[in-house]
A and B are shown apart, each in its own frame.
Chain A
Amino acid sequence: MLIVNLRYKKFIKYVGMAIIGILVGMLAFWLGTIKIMNYMEGSVRVYNKFDLINIIFLTDEFSKFEYLSRSDISLFFLPFLFWGAGIMIASSEFLLKPRSYITYVYSRVNKKSQAMRYIKGDSIMMTIVYVFSFVLTLCWCLDIFLPKGFEIMQRAQESMFFLHMGLHGIAAVLAVLVIGEIMFLFYCKRGVSFSFMGGIMMIVVLFLVDMQITGWNLILFTPLYYFLDSICSMLLCYLVMRKMNSLFGKIELSV
């Protein structure tokens, strides 16, 4: 009976994450369209789907596109919306549990690692559902509601677009999980508010670092190497953080 309930609850949770992904994706598409339309009016260049995606995820090729400017802080709003919601989802399972809750979990498991897994919840699956709901919503919106004046892409170009979106999605899942692991370490050591602030700071730091380094992408939408650079970096960081959390991510109740 309990197992059936558990599966049903998990399913409901994933549906919730998908709905958040769809809503955030639609909002990002709508706001991104409004932003790029302002630039289209005075431009001679024909825009396509990639331009809108550059606005939504942000790319570091500032010199290449006239609608990107390092001094325009409002450009950071849309990517921050996506990443902010992502890290909230990845960390929601543990951020909603008070640290004193851990005693109830400790008394029901044999190993600390089991307790930590339970406290963390299934953040991996929730992140995957959120990111790919967001990405698929964007693709769907771009197909159905492509703004007037946008270039209709050729089949090969369209396939490249989907490939980029898919690979960026994988990199984004890994990046969100890395930030989630860092937040979990902060949560174990310092508590909920420190963890929350740490997550926000990490997004800002990753943006700034990624904008400074050229020839290597982290979280921005720069498909220099088909996002394999982002995927490799984030996978490595994720494995390192998992190891660190298994060594140091323990909630001590001694004080």
Chain B
Amino acid sequence: MIQLEHVTKRLKNQIILNNISVNLSEGKCYGIVGYNGCGKTMLLRAICGFMSIDSGEVIVDGKRIGKEQDFLPEAGVIIGETGFLNGRTGFENLKILAEIRNRITDEDILKTMDSVGILYAKDKKVRKYSLGMKQRLRLAQALMEDCGTLVLDEPFNALDKEGIHEIQQCLLKAKNKGKTILLTSHDDRNITLLCDRVLEMDNGEIVSERENK
């Protein structure tokens, strides 16, 4: 269970997140929607513990993020820029990251690369990847360790039709496994297909929360 209690963040006197309180239940998929700059990414960063908040609390399983725990535990995350090691291959990049938790094998990495449709480019240097290929690689790094929570900021960006379909299937599989998924997307079709609940943001606030029909 992820609880946000009166979370507020200001940047240069501008309110980015305004007194947000919401409970996110385990095993559900949440879609966060809203226009550009309304605070979706900032909300995800606050939940992950990637930025400090001015007031309020993010509580995950009883532990306060930024105090008792620096980051959201057991999470696969895609937020912000691509940021891979360009001189390494896609596989090497994933392997280096996998070495931090050190709990999956090379076969697991390759299987994940296959599921996001990037296996054919595993030995190619990341600097030679197209934008869509980099996006698939980011998804692979978030999915490969089979974490309980997935925080995905615009996971369908830069993907072609086929890519969108493949990633939708991956996320549906993850959802059926009982993972908690937080997802932002500008395409309503993805939200409709994947999400159980939809949070609509405007000007740093959650203005509505509804069941997805």
Contact = CB atoms under 8 A, between A and B. Distances in A.
Given A2-B102, A100-B80, A101-B83, A106 B48 contact: yes
A118 interface: yes
A109 B70 CA distance: 9
Interface string A98-139: 111111111111111000001000000000000000000000
Given A110-B69, A112-B71, A254-B11, 15 more contacts: A1-B106, A98-B83, A98-B84, A99-B83, A101-B84, A103-B50, A104-B141, A107-B71, A107-B75, A107-B142, A111-B70, A253-B79, A254-B42, A254-B45, A254-B52
B51 A252 contact: yes
A106 B70 CA distance: 9
Contacts of A253: 45, 50-51, 79-80
A96 interface: yes
A255 interface: yes
Interface of B: 9, 11, 42, 45, 48-52, 69-73, 75-77, 79-85, 87, 95, 97-102, 105-106, 141-142, 145, 151
A113 to B, nearest CB: 8
Contact of B85 (A5, A101, A107, A255): A101
B85 A103 contact: no
Interface residues of A, number: 27
Nearest to B73: A110
Nearest to A97: B85
Nearest to B86: A98
A253 B81 CA distance: 11
The 3 closest A-B pairs by CB, nearest first: A100-B83, A254-B51, A100-B81
B77 A103 contact: yes
B72 A107 contact: yes
B100 A255 contact: no
A106 B11 contact: no
Interface in A1-27: 1-3, 5-6
B85 A100 contact: no
B51 A103 contact: no
11 contacts: A2-B98, A6-B99, A96-B85, A98-B84, A100-B82, A101-B83, A103-B77, A103-B80, A107-B77, A109-B71, A254-B50
Contacts of A109: 70-71, 100
A104 B97 contact: yes
B171 to A, nearest CB: 17
A255 B11 contact: yes
A134 B169 CA distance: 55
A111 B100 CA distance: 13
A112 B70 contact: yes
Nearest to B88: A96
Contacts of A98: 81, 83-85
B8 to A, nearest CB: 13
A98 B100 CA distance: 17
